[in-house]
Amino acid sequence: MRAEWKEIKNIIGESDCPKDKFISLIAEDGTIVSANARMVRTLHLKPPKSTATNFFDLLHPLNKVEFREGLKRSIEEGAAISLEAYLKNGYYHPMKWKVSPLVKENKVTSYLCIGHKLLDDERLQKFNKLGAKNYQLIVESLNAGILFQDNRGELIAVNQKSAEIFNTTLERLYQLTDIANLWNTAWEIRNENGDPVPFENTPFMKALQTGKTQTEVLLIRLGNGDSRWLHFSSQPLFDENSTVPFAVVSNMADLTYERNLIRELKERKAILRSFMNQTPNLAWVVDEHSTLIFASKSFYQYFGLNEADSLNKNITDLVPPSVAGALYEKHIEVLETGKPAELMEKAKWADGTDFIFHINIFPIEGISNKKILGGHAVNLTDKHAIEKKLREANDRLLLLTRATSDAIWEWDMQTGYIFRNDALMDMIGYQSDTPKGLSWWLRRIHPDDRNRVGDKVKESTDAGKQSWEDEYRFKCADGNYKHMRDKGYIVYENGLPTRMIGSLQDVTGLKDLECQLMEEKLERQKEVSEMVIRSQEMERTRIGHELHDNVNQILSTTKLFIEMINPSGKDQSDFKAKGIEYISLAIEEIRKLSKELAVPHLKNNGLVESIKLIIEDIHLSTALSVKFIHDHDADLLSSGKKVTLFRIVQEQLKNIIKHSQAAKVDISLQRRENDIELVIKDNGIGFDPKQTRRGIGLSNIYERVRFYDGTADIKTAPGKGCTLTASIPSLG
Q: Give CA–CA dist 297/273, Å, rounded.
A: 10
pLDDT of residue 2: 40
Max Cα-Cα span within the chain? 145
Q: Give CA–CA dist 394/688, Å, rounded.
A: 66
- Amino acid at position 416, single letter: G
Q: What is the pLDDT of residues 93-118, one digit of tens each?
A: 788 889 988 887 778 778 899 988 88
| CB neighbour burial string for 187-207, b if at least 16 within 10 angstroms, e if fewer | eebeeeeeeebebeebbbbbb
Q: What is the pLDDT of residues 636-671, one digit of tens each?
A: 788 778 888 888 888 888 889 888 899 999 999 998
Burial class for 487, CB neighbours closer than 10 Å (0-12, 13-18, 19+):
middle
Other C-beta atoms lying within 10 Å of the C-beta of residue 615 = 18
SS (H, E, C) 392-409: HHHHHHHHHHHHCCCEEE
Residues 33, 54 contacting (CB under 8 angstroms): no
458: left (phi over 0), alpha (psi -120 to 50) or beta: alpha
The answer, yes or no, to whether residue 402 has pLDDT greater than 90, is: no
The pTM of the full predicted model, rounded to 2 decimals, is 0.40
For helices 508-546 and 639-655, angle between their N-to-C axes, nearest 10 degrees: 70
Average pLDDT over residues 369-392: 70
pLDDT of residue 556: 64
The answer, yes or no, to whether residue 446 has pLDDT greater than 90, is: yes
Burial class for 347, CB neighbours closer than 10 Å (0-12, 13-18, 19+):
middle
Identify the bridge partners of residue 218 per DSSP, sorted by sequence position. 230
Q: What is the pLDDT of residues 604-634, one digit of tens each?
A: 668 888 889 889 888 888 889 999 999 877 7
Other C-beta atoms lying within 10 Å of the C-beta of residue 693 = 7
Q: For the chain, how many residues are written? A: 732
**According to the per-residue pLDDT averaged within each range, which of 154-163, 545-554, 556-565, 599-608 is highest?**
154-163
| Sign of the four-CA dihedral 309, 310, 312, 316 | positive
Q: What is the pLDDT of residues 494-526, one digit of tens each?
A: 888 988 988 888 888 888 787 777 777 767 766
Residues 6+ apart with CB under 8 A from 47: 40
Q: Give CA–CA dist 511/317, Å, rounded.
A: 73
Q: What is the pLDDT of residues 324-351, one digit of tens each?
A: 777 788 888 888 888 888 887 776 654 5
Structural element, H or E, at residue 134 = helix 121-139
Q: Give CA–CA dist 652/669, Å, rounded.
A: 14
